[in-house]
Amino acid sequence: MKALRKLAPGPGLLLCDIPCPPAPGPGEVLVRVEAAGICGSDLHIEDWSGGYEWITAAMPVTLGHELAGRVAESGDPALPPGTPVVVIPSVTCGGCAVCRAGDPDRCVDRRGIGMTREGGFAPFVLAPSRNCLVLPAGFDPGIAALTEPLVIGARAVSVGGVGPGDRVLVLGPGAIGQAIALMAREAGAAEVTVAGRDDGPRFDVLGRLGFDRLVEVGDQGLTHLAAEGRFDVVFEAVGMPTLVAEALPLLRREGVLVIAGIHPRPAEIPLNTVVREQLQLRGTNRGRMADWQRTLDFVVRQGAALAPMVTHRLPLRDALAGFATTRSRQATKAMLLPEAGDE
């Protein structure tokens, strides 16, 4: 079958032929991938700009960790063939001390589908059945595959402690920024402002999602954003180290800055501002297992209202064009749709 793979450290990906996965064993399912989203992480891995060196030992590896599909073969009677599913990409080991103690979120030997084990930029992917959440019959797999980035947004909002009445600023209108904005609104934020630079197409998507506080920062930086009052929580979802220092003055006293971007180099932070204003800096990454079902419930409930986020749908053979479109910020979420011809 065709698969989009990272073969070695350094720039580039290759669409190449690999064997189909083996038949699933007990507790496993073979998923026929119907939609797999291109993530900012995939762009970093493609250009090898830093932050993902830890996947080197797994290469060559098929990328793709935002995926939905249908069970093709099953080693679990609870998930018979034909069941539509979303796949949780974080595979815990089940054997380390924290897993045995019932806390898999702290697993010390997890592997990531599409990072350190074979992923969904291929027609088929093998996954543990415990990593599959069942979808309603007939639900659009392209929208279902948004669950993973929305889980990232849900976790970020939880880390930030966003609640009713909060003023929230999201720096970066990409897919993760949009996910954070959606989940902040869901958490009851009174105002959600999203700032970006030369991001017209993604601002258009945010408008279609119901957001009207959209700020083009241009060349003037961020300081003018505090003119109408400071924010309770600011999310950095760009991955630009300089934004960390720029964002701090936008926070009210004891406000929270949540860093969600992956940065190519260290950031300089004005620590005296952090101390005197009693600010909090928090990092966020993947979601917890408990975030997945509640986020999927949100996705199913919203349904077609989330469709503006899926700006492009392409066959797997056009994967690199999808990467280019995403990198140029013309896409919010480009979904790859493996076809029979890709087997």
| Least confident range of 107-116, 183-192, 220-229, 270-279 | 220-229
pLDDT of residue 291: 94
Q: Given a cut of 60, is residue 220 above it in pLDDT?
A: yes
**φ and ψ at 237, to 5 degrees?**
-125, 30
Q: Given a cut of 90, is residue 228 above it in pLDDT?
A: no
Query: Quick one: 124 and 244 in the same domain?
Result: no
User: Which residues have a Cβ under 8 Å from the Cβ of 162 and sit 6 or more positions away?
Assistant: 168, 184, 187, 188, 189, 232, 233
Query: Quick one: 240 and 164 in the same domain?
Result: yes
Q: Given a cut of 60, is residue 78 above it in pLDDT?
A: yes
Q: Given a cut of 70, is residue 18 above it in pLDDT?
A: yes
pLDDT of residue 86: 98
Locate tokens 């954003």: which residue?
A: 225
Q: How far, in Å, are 42, 106, 152, 214, 251 from residue 259 at the CA level?
A: 19, 20, 12, 20, 14
pLDDT of residue 13: 97
Query: Quick one: 158 and 266 in the same domain?
Result: yes
What is the C-alpha separation between 296 and 299, in angstroms, rounded?
A: 5
pLDDT of residue 265: 86
Mean pLDDT of 174-189: 97
Confirm if 85 and 71 have CB atoms less than 8 A apart.
yes
Cis ω for the linkage preceding 264 (within 30 of 0): no
pLDDT of residue 223: 80
**CATH code for position 240:** 3.40.50.720
Q: Other C-beta atoms within 10 Å of 35: how many?
A: 24
Q: Given a cut of 60, is residue 340 above it in pLDDT?
A: no
Q: Given a cut of 80, is residue 170 above it in pLDDT?
A: yes
Query: Quick one: 241 and 297 in the same domain?
Result: no
Q: Which of 264, 283, 302 is the last residue of a domain?
A: 283
What is the C-alpha separation between 290 and 168, in angstroms, rounded?
A: 24
pLDDT of residue 221: 78
Q: Note down the domain range covering 124.
A: 2-145+288-342
- In this prediction, what percent of the chain has a pLDDT beyond 70? 99
Q: Which of 339, 287, 292 is nearest to 317 (CA)?
A: 339
Q: How confident is the model at residue 51 (pLDDT cuts 50, 70, 90)?
A: confident
Query: Quick one: 212 and 305 in the same domain?
Result: no
Mean pLDDT of 148-160: 97
Q: Which of 176, 160, 162 is nearest to 66 (CA)?
A: 176
Q: How confident is the model at residue 193 (pLDDT cuts 50, 70, 90)?
A: very high
Query: Quick one: 12 and 68 in the same domain?
Result: yes
> pTM above 0.75?
yes
Q: What is the pLDDT of residues 95-152, one digit of tens each?
A: 899 999 989 989 999 999 999 999 999 999 999 999 999 999 999 999 999 999 999 9
Q: How many domains in the chain?
A: 2
Mean pLDDT (the chain, rounded): 94
Q: How confident is the model at residue 343 (pLDDT cuts 50, 70, 90)?
A: low
Mean pLDDT of 329-333: 93
Query: Quick one: 176 and 214 in the same domain?
Result: yes
Query: Quick one: 227 and 211 in the same domain?
Result: yes
What is the C-alpha separation between 44 and 41, in angstroms, rounded?
A: 5
pLDDT of residue 341: 59
Query: Quick one: 21 and 35 in the same domain?
Result: yes
Query: Quick one: 153 and 138 in the same domain?
Result: no
Query: Quick one: 195 and 78 in the same domain?
Result: no
